[in-house]
Amino acid sequence: MNRRNFVKAGAAATALAGMAVPTVHAAENNTIRFALIGCGGRGRGAAYQGLATNQGPVKLVALADVFHSQAAGFAEMLRKDQPDKVDLPEDRVFGGMDAYKKAIDCLEPGDVVFLGTPPVFRPPHVEYAAKRGVHVFMEKSFAVDGPGVRRILAAVNVAREKGLKMMTGLYSRKSFPTAETVKAIQDGMIGDIVTSYHYRIHGPIPCGPVAGYSPMQHQIRNLNSFNWVCGSILLDWSIHDIDILCWAKQEHPNWVQGCCGRAVRNSQDDVCDHLECEYCFEDQTRMITVVRQIPNTWESFRNVVHGTKGMALLGAVFGNPRIHKTYRDDSEIVWRPTSRGNDGYQEEINYLFQAIREDLPSEDVEFCIHSGLTGIMGRMAMESGQAVSREMALNSDYELCPNIDDLTLESDSPCMPDASGNYEIPKPGITRRF
């Protein structure tokens, strides 16, 4: 199937009106070309998975990163590792805050862009990709605040109207054992869901050194240590598991209250070292999230779903999903998935290319984005100590980075340190960022 048949000629002509014609062309019309935006660890992984897909020939033709050295270093690595699958001359390796536009402009309608930058940049990047008529793989998370969620949902609507395929980086949805376990829960294996719990409890994630970087550069390089970049550790660390629990329930909670703080860590960043949220669904059942990064404490990384007929254990990195007869995890195991283990990261990329070639449906991107909104409303509740509804979070006008489209590497960060290099930590009952 020729990927360029994804829209009618009239729609394609309208989308391309007034735009420059790309100068790069595929050697064969069944080769799907793609660009990577964001050349950090996850972006590099996605690029290699794109090159390893079993869904026909592909070629990586452009790279972009805020830091040009990051993109250039990865380009050099790819030229050595994958010489037959990449076409990366120096003039298609870009750096800077606007590098994403330059890389996407190298693509033709029907090509693909992989978005692996920090979450704060996802809405404008998806928006531009939809405007240019290219299919999208977007790594989680998808926005960091209500305005960002509204912006990316609007971009998804534009993409859908153009017939574009989209895939999110919620890789658990493409994990066969996890998906089978979720289906078993939905089919009533544990009865009606009563309560669900998410635990991500482990030692601290370090923040890298400041020396040699401006606050803006330092914070982007250490995205998990700054709320404006990642949206909070609840959102960016736990979105896979929040999505799994909402997926099992087949809905998102409409209310949340919570609390957070810093008890042990003294790192120069603005994230908490412990947080808890209590979410409430329409039927008044609860979902509890517990996230902690404190050394020498009890560790757990799993999801627990209690039902009227049993209990399920599963999670993004939980390697042995199963269902127990009662609410106790030492009770009889009555069900296990029969699916083989697989690499969800690879599977999501395979499915995206298959969807493009065979005109299959995209995944439910809107549901995934609302799973992200669930993390955002949790951050709003725990930082403020107030109860927050889904409607409040979605309609909030508060932006963690209000000038996202105008940032440069020389800009002041939205979160500047004090004279001692320290940052303000959210204080429930005092902090109000919405």
CATH of the domain at 236: 3.30.360.10
Same domain, 266 and 201: yes
Q: Determine the pLDDT at residue 277.
A: 98
Q: How confident is the model at residue 422 (pLDDT cuts 50, 70, 90)?
A: very high
Same domain, 184 and 132: no
User: Which candidate, 136, 204, 72, places its Cα nearest to that of 353?
Assistant: 136
Q: Determine the pLDDT at residue 28.
A: 47
Domain assignment of residue 302, yes or no: yes
Alpha helices in 266-425 (DSSP H): 344-358, 365-384, 390-395
> By residue range, what is the domain housing residue 199?
173-342+373-395
Domain assignment of residue 294, yes or no: yes
Same domain, 12 and 149: yes
Q: Determine the pLDDT at residue 210.
A: 86
pLDDT in tens, 28-59: 469 999 999 999 999 999 999 999 999 999 99
Determine the average pLDDT of the residues in 73-89.
97
Determine the average pLDDT of the residues in 372-397.
97
Per-residue pLDDT at 185 exceeds 60: yes
Same domain, 189 and 54: no
Same domain, 238 and 357: no
**Which pTM does this prediction carry?**
0.92
Same domain, 110 and 141: yes
Same domain, 337 and 253: yes
- The number of folded domains in the chain is 2
174: tokens are: 């493409």
* Separation between Cα atoms, residue 94 and residue 102, nearest integer Å: 7
Determine the average pLDDT of the residues in 203-218.
91
Q: If you compute the radius of gyration of the chain from its CA atoms, what whole number of angstroms results?
A: 22
Same domain, 265 and 305: yes
Amino acid identity at 153: L
Same domain, 141 and 193: no
Determine the average pLDDT of the residues in 399-418.
95
250: alpha, beta or left? (left if phi > 0; alpha if psi -120 to 50) = left
Residue 8, domain CATH: 3.40.50.720
Q: Determine the pLDDT at residue 12.
A: 36
Determine the average pLDDT of the residues in 195-223.
93
Q: Determine the pLDDT at residue 9.
A: 34
* Separation between Cα atoms, residue 397 and residue 114, nearest integer Å: 28
Determine the average pLDDT of the residues in 254-263.
97
Q: How confident is the model at residue 1 (pLDDT cuts 50, 70, 90)?
A: very low
Q: Determine the pLDDT at residue 205.
A: 87
